[in-house]
Amino acid sequence: MNSTATLSSGNRTASSGDALDLVLRIGLLPILMAIVIVGTSLMSPYFLGWMNIVNILRMASFLAIIACGQALVIIAGGFDLSVGAVVALASVVTAKAMAAAASAIGGPDIVAIVIGIGAGLGSGLAVGLFNGICVSRLKVSGFVVTLGTMSATAGIGLLLTNGIPVYGMPKAFVQAIGRSQFLGFPLAIYIALAVILVMVFVQRRTLFGRYVYAIGGNLDAAVVSGVSIRPHLVGTYVVSGGLAALVGILLTALVGSGQASLGGDAMMLQSIAAAVIGGVSLRGGIGRVEIVAVAALFLTILGNALNLLHIDSRIQPIFLGLIMVLAVALDEFSRRRTSRV
Amino acid sequence: MTSADITRTTTPNTAEPLLVLSGVTKRFPGVLALDGVDLDVKAGELHVLFGENGAGKSTLINVIAGTFPPTSGSFRFGGEEMSELTPHEARAIGISPVFQEFSLVPSLTVEENLFLGREKSAAGVLDAGGMRKRARELIGELGFDLYPKARVDSLDRAHQQMAEIAKALLGNVKLLILDEPTASLTERETGRLFELIAKLKTDGVGIIYVSHRMREIRALADRVTVLRDGRHIKTLDAATVTDGELVELMTGRKIDVLFPTIAHDPGETAIEVHDLSTADGLVKGVDFVARAGEITGIAGLVGCGKSELVRAIYGIAPIASGSVALRGKLLDRLDPRTSLRRGVAYFPANRGVEGLALSRPIRENVSMAALDLSRYQRGGVIRRAAERALIGPIMETLKLRPPNIERAVGDLSGGNRQKVMLGRAMARDLDIFLFDEPSVGIDVGAKVEVYEFIKRLVEQGAAVVVVSSELPEVLALSNRLYVMHHGRIAALLEGAAKTEQNVLSSFFEEESREKAA
């Protein structure tokens, strides 16, 4: 009798441990996401409407693309604060170049569109290259370098436009890239999926991805192992800058004009939040872009849900902040539970 | 040394030992780290904990130091039952641990670290003068060559170790825990530490001492407790137990000889260094030759430049002047990447800092230095199946336990981490191997495996250079032995001349020559 009593109490503690283990194993993210989706769909009839779902997926795509680049930089042990400003710069540069090319050439729209997109992507890659070179050559921390380029990039964007939206892009650009749909979903979603798939491949299957993990995991060990550090560090910032520019171009096509107010600090902070909630370690060396993409989707759903539930927009950042801290705390907790053998 | 400086209370009650653990169990998820361990330490006794890596020594001392509570069992200290002990409280009641992983803040000075958390102050204002005076006194007493105002990150490992020991002895110590304290100390500093230990014992301090070094156990221990697989195997009187007995109890099997007999067969010159000086000035005008088919040893005190010499050859430490030739070919540039391509491997002394990416799995750490080879990748795309198929067998031959190459390296013990390093060298074809302190921080069983690994390399015709502060190790392994002193080669010993006596005397000759000059 006595022994059965101890047995059952032993079982109970084991099962509560199992529940915790389960949370630690599948992570907080799917659980939170399920709670938000179920909760909001019960409270708001619009939430699961087709329009809203498409809207969520589109906004999540933008965030996921940027967060993929951000994650790569953070995994290598860096930080990219300039992504939001690059979105704005790429938007302005794309619109200006496309409008100028359209009026100068006057030929088929496709030429102007390609020139515009090339210029926009180029501006993002250039900022990324500058970031990467400063970090790897001058040995200034990524945080400081990108803080500087964030300010400078945003300044250039404003200088180019004086804060006035840039119009004059070919209609075909807006129709083909911004508004076109494929099987009922906007193009941006397919682009984001492609970016995520490519990044997953890069992380898992390429030398570049592996070396980024190694550099972030232990820089000195990577040096001793003969890994060339500079090109890989520069590469992470270039990828991040390029992806941010891509989002800038997609947003430009969506709104139909080049604007220095796109992206901005909010997008930068959200990209970092998505990376962290998606399990990227700020110490470097750990993180997977597919989970970061899910985190980006979660953040977008959360924002959408809070809007639909008419929660004061001033209160919304508080939720985001608390969830971020919770995610990082859980990550630390699970790290500490693992022991050496 | 005055006992007023290292203050402690007299033992109140001699009826019960200072520390009594009975049936202490510690369970981590999936691992039973301690399984009903008993241990008692008397005041004034030095009690050695002996066991392989992973035997539970670290867990046990962490429980005693209050880092985490035991899952079950009783823990009595000074006649009182301890429960919910925190590291802070443990220090306050006189339990003072010195861990292998230092508890020093790198960006603070030595004296700031000594007083960290127990600063002398009046009304919130630090008593800087008082603390400086006390720090000077303590360091003076200990006889350490340590400058109190130096920043900890500017110190080498040996001096950081001294700072750590000094920190543990500041205050009211009743039970001192030392985890391999001599791993990075020189002979002289070790001697000082032993004198200090003897003094502490006569003052009634109980000491728990973790070490793999038989000589230290012989010199210091009153009793030895052997742990294996988290269980208490036996507690023995140090005066009557033999070395063989201890090792057998520890490993559960017989190990006859620590150092293997190696057949050296010197061939062509593999490394030829001429008049090499490093940019940091730690190596000055060194000529050095290593040949294929033999082990070339480099002995010397901590800071003599022996590590820097091999680091310069590998291309990590920048050189100021001189030349390095590999297999008769003069090198125009030295960096790790080209060194690896030319077949040179380097095993850093500090595996955690320079060797391994702790957050990454074993597989990635092993293949890290070989991924440029076409058998691991094609056009920048990693061939994962091939990688797994190549790394798995390598770790199998190295007897990785448990044999799971997807585990994060951070979860591994010292011996297993060294195996990951060895595996990395096997992941590509190399024939020149530079070992910097190959047996630091690993247990006897793992040491034997490392030595066997080196033996295999040499007998397959590789050139091996072993840099070591452990004299018996370099003496036993090397065919030719360079002795370095203050950045220069003090002697090259071969054959019958290769004795401990000659190594030590070449230090002193060099010392007197320097003084004369």
What chain A holds in terms of domains, given with CATH numbers, is: 39-333 (1.10.3470)
Taking the Cβ of residue A194 and every Cβ of chain B, the question of whether any pair is shorter than 8 Å is answered with no
> What are the φ and ψ backbone dihedral angles of B432, each rounded to 5 degrees?
-125, 125
For B357, which of A206, A218, A338 is closest by C-beta distance? A218
The two structure tokens encoding residue A251: 């947003």
- Domains, chain B: 19-108+173-251 (3.40.50.300), 269-516 (3.40.50.300)
**Neighbour tally for A333: CB within 10 Å:** 12
Query: Among candidates B414, B409, B413, B419, which has minimal Cα distance to B360?
Result: B409
Cα B295 to Cα B459: distance, rounded to the nearest angstrom: 10
The encoded tokens of residue B264 equal 């050296």
Q: A94 near A249, Cβ under 8 Å?
A: yes
Alpha helices in A256-288, H assignment, sequence order:
264-277
Could you tell me the pLDDT band of residue A29, with boundaries at 50, 70 and 90? confident
pLDDT tens digit sequence for B200-245: 898 889 999 998 777 888 888 999 999 888 889 989 898 888 877 8
Query: Cα separation of A141 and A278, whole Å?
Result: 23
Q: Residue B5 above 60 pLDDT?
A: no
From residue B269, alpha-carbon distances to A131, B307, B467, B478, B483 in Å are 46, 21, 18, 16, 19
Q: Which of B58, B59, B347, B354 to mutate to test the interface with A (most CBs of A within 10 A)?
A: B354
Q: Assign B95 to helix, strand or coil.
A: strand
Using a CB–CB cutoff of 8 Å, tell me whether B386 touches chain A.
no
**pLDDT reading at A341 higher than 60:** no
Share of chain B above pLDDT 70, in %: 95
Check whether A154 has a pLDDT greater than 60.
Answer: yes
Which tokens belong to A40? 């909001």
What angle in degrees, to the nearest 10, is found between the helix axes of A83-105 and A229-255? 60
Q: Tell me how many degrees the CA angle B58-B408-A274 measures, rounded to the nearest 5.
A: 120
- Residues of chain A with C-beta less than 8 angstroms from the C-beta of B317: none
Q: Model pTM?
A: 0.74
Q: Within 13 Å and on the Cβ side, how many CA atoms surround B50?
A: 34
Task: For residue A107, count CB atoms less than 10 angstroms from its CB and return exposed for 0-12, middle for 13-18, buried for 19 or more.
Answer: exposed
A214 touches chain B (CB under 8 A): yes
Whether residue B31 is predicted with pLDDT greater than 80 in this model: the reply is no
Residues of B in contact with A285 (CB under 8 A): 357-360
Query: pLDDT digit string (tens) for B363-381?
Result: 999 999 898 888 888 888 9
Q: Which of B353, B365, B411 sits opposite A340 (nearest CB)?
A: B411
Which chain A residue shows the shortest CA-CA distance from B355?
Answer: A221
Which chain B residues have a beta carbon less than 8 Å from that of A284? 359
Question: For residues B323 and B275, is the Cβ–Cβ distance under 8 A?
Answer: yes
pLDDT at A313: 81
pLDDT (0 to 100) of residue B416 = 84
Average pLDDT, chain B: 85
Q: Which of A304, A248, A244 is nearest to A41 (CA)?
A: A304
Pairwise CA distance, residues B222 & B239, whole Å = 7
Within a 10 A sphere around the Cβ of B214, how many other Cβ atoms?
Answer: 16
For A166-177, the pLDDT digits (tens) are 998 888 888 888
Is residue A12 within 8 angstroms of chain B, CB to CB? Answer: no
Quote ipTM for the complex: 0.75
Are the beta carbons of A225 and B424 separated by less than 8 Å? yes
String of DSSP letters for A71-95: HHHHHTT---TTHHHHHHHHHHHHH
Calculate the CA A291 to chain-centre distance. Answer: 11
**Rounded Cα–Cα distance for residues B338 and B336 (Å):** 6
Report how far apart the first and last C-alpha atoms of chain A are (Å, whole number): 38
What would the pLDDT profile of A77-91 be if each residue is shown by its tens digit?
999 999 999 999 999
Question: Residue range B273-296: average pLDDT?
Answer: 93
Q: Do B411 and A207 touch (CB under 8 A)?
A: no
Q: Are B351 and B418 in contact (CB under 8 A)?
A: yes
How far are the Cα atoms of A202, A207, B357, B393, B406 from residue B363, in angstroms, in the given order? Answer: 18, 14, 11, 11, 6
Nearest chain A residue to B316 by CA distance is: A224
Among all chains, which residue has been given the structure tokens 């985190």? Answer: A295
Give, to the nearest 10 degrees, the angle between helix A264-277 and helix A289-308.
120
Looking at chain A, the whole-number percentage of residues with pLDDT higher than 90 is 51
Residue B44, Ramachandran bin (φ over 0: left; ψ between -120 and 50: alpha; else beta): left
Give the model's pLDDT for residue B253. 65
Contact A70/A278 with Cβ under 8 angstroms? no
Q: How many CA atoms lie within 13 A of B104 on its CB side?
A: 31
Q: Identify whether the C-beta of residue B386 lies closer than 8 Å to the C-beta of residue B375.
A: yes
Q: Which two tokens stand for residue A5?
A: 């009593």
Is A51 near chain B, with CB under 8 Å? no
Closest to B473 measured CA to CA, from B212, B255, B299, B307? B299
pLDDT at A288 over 70: yes
Asked if B364 lies within 8 A of A224 by C-beta distance, the reply is: no
- Chain B partners of A200 at a C-beta cutoff of 8 Å? none
